[in-house]
Amino acid sequence: MNRFWKYCFTVVVATTLLFSCAGSKPSEPDPVQEALLQQLKALSEEIGKLQTTQGEILEMKHNLAQMDSQLTVYQTTLANKEQDSKAKESEIIELRGNIDVLNSEIILLRGVVDTLKTAKDSLDQRLQVLADDILPKLAAEQGSPKDLPITPDSANAAVSETAVTTEPPAPTESPKAQVTAEVNAINQPPLSKREYRRQYNAALNKYFQRDYQSATGLFAELITAWPDGAYADNCQYWIGECYYSLENYQQAIEEFSKVSAFPENNKADHALFKIGMCYLQIGNRGEAETLFRQVLKQYPESDMVPRVKEYFAGKKL
């Protein structure tokens, strides 16, 4: 049995025993029981945080699996192009650029997963301390066995039972209070960090599924919700990629050009390179080469630099 369910079961059994005991004693508050109930509430809250973190890790891993799959598609296509004597050099360079961009996205999301795993380990430790502290006190208070039997059914029941026994019912709000709450909600960030990441992953998935219209809408919603969010420039970049994939190169140029305006800016070099690719696609080689030289000058450490040098080497300049 996984420790998470042990914590859940500890909460529901301990809470049930405390409340059943309270019903048989005078109404005077028992300091020991009060302290235990506070610890149980803390444990219940930590369980909720752990459950949320575990769910987010699973979502991110799923998204990374899809990105790894797309990376394999790009690499296979690139290998076929390289063996095709009729393939355009610009197509090969573009594919390699796509691989570089996707690799950078994968590195970014793996960093998020590592951060979430660290948070999960910290929650695990806090839960263990709380559980180890509560069980002996409960045994002393109730005369109950220290080692409680744990089953999957009882553990699952613990989550819903804990929510009922540890949280008082919300009071009914007056109309004035409801209006105030609505105003406060408007002034608060509309998305939690977890939901922000989840929606970003969902938008990326739409892009890789070639549902470019849906992806564009989702990325735009994220920019509107959090214009200074950590992924705002990434969202703008992928909007450009959506239009590029739809072969709407003029619109793609407009969208890629907006990327550098965002404060968090790790996609500006990629966007500049892709604007150059747009100009190549519409036959404006001179403008494309100007932009490629700009990449070399402004972003000498960029992973787009090898792609630009590859282009110029192919032209034998």
Q: What's the CATH number where 128 sits?
A: 1.20.1270
Domain count within the chain:
2
Highest mean pLDDT among 4-18, 182-196, 210-224: 210-224
| Residue 78 DSSP class | H
Is the pLDDT higher at 57 or at 165? 57
237, pLDDT greater than 50: yes
Flag whether 179 is in a domain. no
Given a contact cutoff of 8 angstroms between Cβ atoms, the answer to whether 194 and 45 are in contact is no
Flag whether 243 is in a domain. yes
* Structural domain span for residue 195: 191-315
pLDDT value, residue 278: 96
| Calpha distance 307→274 (Å, rounded) | 11
Structure confidence by residue, pLDDT tens digits, 248-289: 999 999 999 999 999 878 899 999 999 999 999 999 999 999
29, pLDDT greater than 70: no
Is the same domain home to 122 and 263?
A: no
Is the same domain home to 147 and 218?
A: no
User: Which of 59-68, 202-211, 241-250 is least confident?
Assistant: 59-68
Q: How far is CA 185 from CA 35, 113, 174, 179, 249, in A?
A: 34, 29, 16, 10, 39
pLDDT value, residue 266: 86
Flag whether 54 is in a domain. yes
Q: What's the CATH number where 230 sits?
A: 1.25.40.10
Question: How deeply is 29 buried, as exposed, middle or buried, from its count of CB atoms within 10 A (0-12, 13-18, 19+)?
Answer: exposed
% pLDDT > 70, the chain:
59
**pLDDT, average across residues 221-228:** 92
pTM higher than 0.75: no
Is the pLDDT higher at 178 or at 114? 114
Is the same domain home to 276 and 134?
A: no
Is the same domain home to 299 and 150?
A: no
Flag whether 151 is in a domain. yes
Is the same domain home to 225 and 104?
A: no
Q: Tokens at residue 95, please?
A: 């594919």
| Calpha distance 246→251 (Å, rounded) | 10
| Calpha distance 134→35 (Å, rounded) | 10
User: Which of 19-23, 252-256, 293-297 is least confident?
Assistant: 19-23
Flag whether 183 is in a domain. no
